[in-house]
């Protein structure tokens, strides 16, 4: 009897070892299947033109990008004949004519997503962006989109508060961190459990000496909404908006402070990579910060409707010195693992909210 029990236990031990080995191999295979998930991708541009969603999955994502956010741009560039006559602007710097919020972008993304087979839908995380952040009805737009297209969206964003050369061109009120309309949006993020991707420049394009203009407002927002998951795009940088003095030290203070535990960062955009490579000190400090807090950062391309996969790979490889500096394990977190956790949780939370509130 004792021999039989011994043999059974030994057999179970062998089975457990084999199971663990197979699980480990499968995990390693899956871990190396893709280079990255794209935490920041625009399907359409400032005149709401772009690429077909299936083309994006098959040709641009292909076998290199596993999952991807998809959102358009919430702003439409006006073509004013009085300003440019027959020249049709396609970018906000092409003309002095204003920008205006374009809400149909959410329906366009949703319909394109719903036209896909389920296995392709599973690789995408559509985001709601077609709302005016200075409008108290903005949160009603978000809820209306969820009600019209249940099961589609994962979160909201990328939307902007302060953005170089863009904010001043938008028709109507200027966005503000101290607008109750914005608080209503983040109250709903906390209620529904969905994440928000927010663009906010850390300072003016041509700042004066002293404390950066738009840092305090950003941090106040995060503190006011501790139950909302917030992703700060591009580390607060822009084409012209450069890193502030001692920015690495400042980010370490933010990451160490439990008051900002709900704040994450994406390092998307080739312009962000430009500042990363601006000096050896900048690269070294970025490596230090991300290595210490690898669970708080995500990679994205911030590309707008690229026609070739090479453009996606170009942005990814701009960060090669960073990947080398932070090591393989942390690179996996920044490029894949953190995306799966944050967007996976956000997607699941929204489905639960829809099930409870949209019957």
CATH code for position 99: 3.20.20.140
Print the SS3 string covering 238-295: CCCCCCCCCHHHHHHHHHHCHHHCCEEEECCCHHHHHHHCCCHHHHHHHHHHHHHCHH
Q: Residue 98 is encoded by which pair of tokens?
A: 């204003």
24/39 same-domain check: no
User: Residue 299: which of 46, 68, 87 has the closest Cα?
Assistant: 68
Q: How many CA atoms lie within 13 A of 60 on its CB side?
A: 29
Model confidence at 288: pLDDT above 50? yes
Print the SS3 string covering the chain: CHHHHHHHHHHHHHHHHHHHHHHHHHHHHHHCCCCEEECCCECECCCCCECCHHHHHHHHHCCCEEEEEEECCCEEECCCHHHHCCCCCCCHHHCCCCEEECCHHHHHHHHHHHCCCHHHHCCEEEEECCCCCCCCCHHHHHHHHHHHCCCCCCEEEEEECCCCCCHHHECCCCCCCCCHHHHHHHHHHHHHCCEEEEECCCCCCCCCCCCCCCHHHHHHHHHHCCCCEEEEHHHHCCCCCCCCCCHHHHHHHHHHCHHHCCEEEECCCHHHHHHHCCCHHHHHHHHHHHHHCHHHEECCCCCECCCCHHHHHHHHHHCHHHHHHHHHHHHHHHHHHHHHHHHHHHHHHHHHHHHHHCC
- The residue segments making up the domain with residue 326 are 35-357
324/337 same-domain check: yes
169-172 CB contacts, 8 Å cutoff, 24+ apart:
169/92, 169/98, 169/99, 170/75, 170/98, 170/99, 170/100, 170/101, 171/98, 171/99, 171/100, 172/100, 172/132, 172/134
pLDDT band at 295 (very low <50, low <70, confident <90, very high): very high
Taking the C-alpha atoms of residue 242 and residue 209, their distance in angstroms, rounded to an integer, is 13
- Total tally of structural domains belonging to the chain: 2
24/129 same-domain check: no
CA 139: distance to chain centroid?
19
Sign of the four-CA dihedral 247, 251, 252, 253: positive
198/328 same-domain check: yes
In the chain, % of residues over pLDDT 90: 83
4/63 same-domain check: no
pLDDT band at 32 (very low <50, low <70, confident <90, very high): low
pLDDT band at 11 (very low <50, low <70, confident <90, very high): very low
242/289 same-domain check: yes
What is the value of pTM for the model shown? Answer: 0.89
Taking the C-alpha atoms of residue 125 and residue 37, their distance in angstroms, rounded to an integer, is 11
Model confidence at 20: pLDDT above 60? no
Model confidence at 251: pLDDT above 80? yes
27/66 same-domain check: no
Q: Enumerate the β-bridge partners of residue 264.
A: 231
Q: Residue 48 is encoded by which pair of tokens?
A: 């709401």
Question: Assign residue 295 a region: left if phi > 0, alpha if psi is -120 to 50, beta otherwise?
Answer: alpha
pLDDT tens, residue by residue, 156-190: 999 999 999 999 899 889 999 999 999 999 999 99
Model confidence at 36: pLDDT above 70? yes
25/49 same-domain check: no
Model confidence at 132: pLDDT above 70? yes
User: Residue 303: which of 202, 167, 158, 194 has the closest Cα?
Assistant: 158
Q: Residue 189 is encoded by which pair of tokens?
A: 């993020």
13/147 same-domain check: no
pLDDT average, residue stretch 125-148? 97
pLDDT average, residue stretch 292-301? 98
53/25 same-domain check: no
Say which residues have a Cβ less than 8 Å from residue 253's Cβ, sequence separation at least 6: none
26/152 same-domain check: no
pLDDT tens, residue by residue, 190-249: 999 999 999 999 999 888 888 899 999 999 999 999 999 999 999 999 999 989 888 999
136/52 same-domain check: yes
Model confidence at 9: pLDDT above 70? no
């Amino acid at each position: 009897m004792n021999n039989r029990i011994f043999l059974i236990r030994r057999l179970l031990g062998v089975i457990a070892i084999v199971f663990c080995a197979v699980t480990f191999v499968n995990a390693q295979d899956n871990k190396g299947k893709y280079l990255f998930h794209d935490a920041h991708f625009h399907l359409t541009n400032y005149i709401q033109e772009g690429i077909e969603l299936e083309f994006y999955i098959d040709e641009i994502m292909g076998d290199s990008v596993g999952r991807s956010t998809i959102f358009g741009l919430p702003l439409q560039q006006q073509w004013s004949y009085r300003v440019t006559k027959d020249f049709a602007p396609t970018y906000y710097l092409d003309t002095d004519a204003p920008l205006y919020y374009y809400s149909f972008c959410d329906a366009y993304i949703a319909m394109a997503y719903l036209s896909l087979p389920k296995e392709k839908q599973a690789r995408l995380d559509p985001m709601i962006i077609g709302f005016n952040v200075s409008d108290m009805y903005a949160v009603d737009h978000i809820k209306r989109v969820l009600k019209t297209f249940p099961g589609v969206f994962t979160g909201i964003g990328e939307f902007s508060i302060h953005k170089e050369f863009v904010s001043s061109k938008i028709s109507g009120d200027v966005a503000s961190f101290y607008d109750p309309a914005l608080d209503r949006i983040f109250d709903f993020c906390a209620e529904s459990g969905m994440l928000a991707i927010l663009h906010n420049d850390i300072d003016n394009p041509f700042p004066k000496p002293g404390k950066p203009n738009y840092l305090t407002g950003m941090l106040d927002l995060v503190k006011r909404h501790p139950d909302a998951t917030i992703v700060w795009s591009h580390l607060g940088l822009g084409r012209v908006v450069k890193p502030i003095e001692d920015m690495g030290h400042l980010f370490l203070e933010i990451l160490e402070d439990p008051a900002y535990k709900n704040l994450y960062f994406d390092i998307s955009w080739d312009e962000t990579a430009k500042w990363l490579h601006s000096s050896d000190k900048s690269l070294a400090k970025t490596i230090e910060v991300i290595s210490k807090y690898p669970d708080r950062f995500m990679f994205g391309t911030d590309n707008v409707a690229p026609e070739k996969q090479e453009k996606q790979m170009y942005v990814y490889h701009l960060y090669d010195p960073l990947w080398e500096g932070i090591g393989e394990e942390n690179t996996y977190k920044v490029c894949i693992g953190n995306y799966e956790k944050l967007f996976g949780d956000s997607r699941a939370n929204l489905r639960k909210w829809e099930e409870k509130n949209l019957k």
